[in-house]
Amino acid sequence: MTTLFDSYQLGGLSLPNRLVMAPMARVRATADGLATPSMAAYYGQRTTAGLLITEGVQPSLVGQSTPNTPGLYNDEQTASWRQVTDAVHVNGGRIFAQLMHAGRIAHPDTTGLQPVAPSAVAAGHVFTPTGFQPAPVPRALGTAEAAEEARSYAKAARRAIDAGFDGVELHGAAGYLISQFLSSNANLRTDRYGGSLTNRIRFAVEAVAATVDAIGAERTGIRLSPGGGFLGTDETDVVDLYSELLAELARLDVAYIHLLLSADDEVLLGLRRAWPGALIMNPTPPLKGPQAGRGPEVGREEADLWLKHGADLISFGRAFIANPDLVERLRSGLPLAPVDETTLYEGGDAGYITYPTYRHTAGAAQ
């Protein structure tokens, strides 16, 4: 029987186990989107995971969601990531950059630009330098502009490889730009990017295809949240929509798809059967709204269940924050440390690179 601790061949990468650190926003980059030494330490501490996936990285300034998130759209940002990838590789790890275009989940107070989206339909609220504010009405992308935004993922992917990443994951989930194009209420277009299922998936397919052309299929994955309803998005015809999308992704032979637990098991198991490639499953029931993605902590039981359901790899989010040695804790049945909620996005090193491994606290009450 497959276990979390079996090795796995993912494209050109040999993973020592099947645990993946899921992408999680930690907002510790500089104001101009540079990766920092603390970020290098954070990822370097967690390299026993089979694969690390970074927090969402904007492929362009207009794609930035919140303040102090990192970018990959200029030379300085690209160079700043080298310290992160070096820290991971020197410790024997493997790391993908998650490319996340915010679309309408952005604000001029953060970027100085009006957000862009499939249609001029506002979301609810977005986080800005002064806290949560009502989301502005985005500017609807023209047809040619939509194609250019799809190519922005590929441009950032080339920079990611230059920065030493092993590959990239396109963020097609949770209400951000790719998800907005898949949506039936955020996407009201009547051109080639809207209306029919084929048109609604077109932006996602073009973004992935451009990335595959830029860096290779074995270095390209995508995260999806079928039927998730995140950040004010809604999707109709979920099974047909994602079945058609997965068929197109299969033709591109991407390294993996990464699913959130965003639909009923029946839907997700059907997509597993329809998908011929590697599947990363995140077994955490996600919350929605302003705290999208911050679901309850899960452990070995939920992971083992989804391995039995046919997932190849299991991603953990919050558990990796407080447990840099999560692989060993799960392997040895050791207790998991709780997350300090007050430091998730606070901005300093406390609650970021200060969580100890179990051996450092074994003599305490833990």
> Tens digit of pLDDT for each residue in 102-131?
999 999 999 999 999 999 999 999 999 999
Mean pLDDT to the nearest integer, 241-256: 98
Q: How far apart are CA 42 and CA 37, in angstroms?
A: 9
Instruction: Exactly one of 176, 352, 355, 358 is catalytic; name it.
Output: 176
Residue with the two structure tokens 């979390």: 4
Residue 233 belongs to some domain of the structure:
yes
- Report whether pLDDT(295) > 70: no
Provide φ and ψ at 337, rounded to 5°. -75, 145
Q: How far apart are CA 120 and CA 187, in angstroms?
A: 9
Residue 3 belongs to some domain of the structure:
no
- Identify each DSSP E strand in the chain by its residue range: 8-10, 13-15, 19-21, 51-57, 95-99, 116-117, 125-128, 131-134, 139-140, 167-172, 220-224, 256-260, 278-282, 313-316
Q: How far apart are CA 315 and CA 52, in angstroms?
A: 9
In three-state secondary structure terms, 88 is helix
- Report whether pLDDT(291) > 90: no
pLDDT at 301: 87
Provide φ and ψ at 285, rounded to 5°. -65, 115
Mean pLDDT to the nearest integer, 83-101: 98
140 DSSP β-pair partners:
117
Average pLDDT, the chain: 94
Residue 2 belongs to some domain of the structure:
no
Q: What is the pTM of this model?
A: 0.94
Residue type for position 322: A
| Angle (deg, nearest 10), helices 265-274 and 238-252 | 30
Mean pLDDT to the nearest integer, 53-77: 98
Is the sign of the CA dihedral 20, 26, 31, 37 positive or negative?
negative
pLDDT at 359: 72
Residue 88 belongs to some domain of the structure:
yes
**By C-alpha distance, which of 273, 272, 238 is closest to 258?**
272
pLDDT at 1: 85
Instruction: Give the number of domains in the chain.
Output: 1
pLDDT at 361: 45
245, with CB counted inside 10 A (0-12, 13-18, 19+), is: buried
133 DSSP β-pair partners:
126
Q: Which two tokens stand for residue 95?
A: 């790391």
Whether the Cβ atoms of residue 99 and residue 222 lie closer than 8 Å to each other: no
Residue 73 belongs to some domain of the structure:
yes
Mean pLDDT to the nearest integer, 155-165: 98
- Report whether pLDDT(250) > 80: yes
Q: How far apart are CA 129 and CA 68, in angstroms?
A: 9
Mean pLDDT to the nearest integer, 298-326: 93
Q: How far apart are CA 9 and CA 331, in angstroms?
A: 20
- Which helix (H) or strand (E) element contains residue 80? helix 75-90
Residue 102 belongs to some domain of the structure:
yes
96: containing domain = 8-361
| Angle (deg, nearest 10), helices 202-215 and 143-162 | 30
Residue with the two structure tokens 């079996």: 6
Q: State yes or no: is 8 an active-site residue.
A: no
Mean pLDDT to the nearest integer, 192-217: 98
pLDDT digits (tens, 9 = 90+) for 3-56: 999 999 999 999 999 999 999 999 999 999 999 999 999 999 999 999 999 999
pLDDT at 360: 46
| Cβ neighbours, 10 Å, residue 234 | 13
Residue type for position 43: Y
- Report whether pLDDT(287) > 80: no
Q: CATH code at 344? A: 3.20.20.70
Residues counted in the chain: 366
Provide φ and ψ at 84, rounded to 5°. -70, -50
Residue 230 belongs to some domain of the structure:
yes
pLDDT at 299: 74
- Identify each DSSP E strand in 29-70 by its residue range: 51-57
Residue 290 belongs to some domain of the structure:
yes
pLDDT at 365: 41
20 DSSP β-pair partners:
51, 315
**By C-alpha distance, which of 65, 81, 169, 69 is closest to 113?**
65
Q: Would you state the torsion angle of the CA atoms of residues 228, 283, 38, 15, taken in this order, to the nearest 10 degrees? A: -120
Q: What is the CA radius of gyration of the chain?
A: 19
